[in-house]
């Protein structure tokens, strides 16, 4: 058997074929295209060669134009998920864009379970919250003790605009509040668990930053927009993937506007700089 496989592989490379199934089938089973169609429950002659119906192996892309299978599938059909590696169904962020991700997760749960991802996701999120709390206090202390900011204290007490460097640090901190929770959740976690963990962890980190620097409540708005998108998307009656993509692009546009508004508020100095806590506040 091993010699036959080796010879077959050598023949394929000699004929300029790759190891893909198309080149293999076409080169070594040329009569397959004219073989009769295999139908379950029908009487077939023993032996011989048969073709499987198209619906026995379905590309998931055929489901999305109208969110239903246009080609009949049997109960034993195999669904394949070619496409962008970052949007595979086992990655929790592929939902709600790709609804079949929930089907894949359900099958995976029946086979291998999800207990490990649940534990790792919760522990990772709690670790990020703890580290975020410690980092926020450390940054606050470092900025309060900075000689450059001590010199800036006189400007704050005199009513001068807040330091833009502090605004930049706060903006980077808000970005990290959204990015770090994503890294803490295992990629194969069920979306119904992963998204709440990410949103809750981000909200906790943003709250730490807001409480320490007395930021306005507008810093919560992007998270509120994300939460509303996650809740409304599976409830809306989309006719197909195109409608859903348009909806998500609109949501991303408005969340981008909210983020730009947050940055604008920070640049305007609408927060309390750490060196101004003991004097006149720079909050406008």
Token pair listed for 21: 């199934």
How high is the pLDDT of residue 254? 92
Task: Provide the mean pLDDT of the chain.
Answer: 77
How high is the pLDDT of residue 54? 75
Query: Does position 152 have pLDDT exceeding 60, yes or no?
Result: no
How confident is residue 279, by pLDDT bands cut at 50, 70 and 90? very low
How high is the pLDDT of residue 64? 86
Query: Does position 204 have pLDDT exceeding 80, yes or no?
Result: yes
Sort residue 269 into left (φ over 0), alpha (ψ -120 to 50) or beta.
left
How high is the pLDDT of residue 171? 84
How confident is residue 200, by pLDDT bands cut at 50, 70 and 90? very high
pLDDT more than 70, % of the chain: 72
Work out the number of other CB atoms within 10 angstroms of the CB of residue 136: 20
How high is the pLDDT of residue 168? 80
- Give buried/exposed letters for 60-84 (b at 16+ CB in 10 A, else e): bebbbeeeeeeeebeeebebebeee
Of 130, 179, 156, nearest to 274 by C-alpha is 156
Say which residue the tokens 């509303």 belong to: 228
Is the pTM higher than 0.85?
no
Query: Does position 218 have pLDDT exceeding 60, yes or no?
Result: yes
C-alpha 98/C-alpha 89 separation (Å) is 7
If one compares 174 and 32, the residue with the highest pLDDT of the two is 174
Is it true that the peptide bond before 201 is cis, omega within 30 degrees of 0? no
If one compares 55 and 200, the residue with the highest pLDDT of the two is 200
Summarize the confidence of residues 229-251 as an average pLDDT. Answer: 91
How far, in Å, are 97, 102, 114, 116, 157 from residue 94 at the CA level? 6, 10, 17, 20, 50
How high is the pLDDT of residue 249? 93
Summarize the confidence of residues 15-38 as an average pLDDT. Answer: 67
């Amino acid at each position: 058997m091993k010699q036959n496989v080796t010879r077959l592989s050598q023949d394929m490379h000699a004929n300029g074929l790759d190891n893909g199934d198309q080149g293999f089938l076409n080169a070594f089973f040329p009569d397959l295209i004219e073989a009769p169609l295999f139908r379950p429950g029908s009487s077939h002659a023993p032996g011989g060669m048969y073709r499987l119906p198209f619906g026995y192996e379905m590309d998931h892309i055929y489901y999305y134009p109208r969110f239903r299978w246009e080609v009949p599938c049997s109960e034993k059909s195999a669904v394949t998920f070619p496409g962008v590696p970052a949007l595979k169904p086992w990655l929790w962020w592929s939902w709600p864009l790709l609804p079949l991700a929930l089907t894949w997760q359900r099958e995976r749960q029946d086979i291998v379970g999800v207990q490990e991802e649940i534990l790792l996701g919760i522990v990772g999120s709690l670790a990020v919250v703890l580290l975020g709390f410690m980092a926020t206090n450390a940054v606050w202390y470092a900025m309060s003790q900075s000689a450059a900011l001590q010199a800036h204290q006189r400007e704050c007490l005199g009513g001068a605009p807040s330091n833009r460097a502090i605004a930049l640090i706060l903006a980077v901190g808000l970005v990290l509040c959204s990015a770090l929770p994503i890294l803490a959740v295992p990629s194969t976690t069920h979306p119904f668990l992963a998204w709440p963990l990410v949103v809750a962890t981000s909200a906790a980190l943003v709250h730490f930053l807001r409480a320490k620097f007395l930021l306005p409540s507008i810093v919560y708005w992007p998270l509120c927009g994300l939460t509303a998108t996650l809740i409304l998307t599976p409830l809306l009656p989309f006719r197909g993937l195109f409608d859903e993509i348009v909806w998500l692009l609109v949501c991303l546009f408005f969340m981008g506007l909210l983020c730009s508004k947050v940055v604008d508020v920070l640049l305007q100095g609408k927060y309390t700089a750490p060196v101004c806590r003991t004097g006149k506040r720079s909050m406008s």
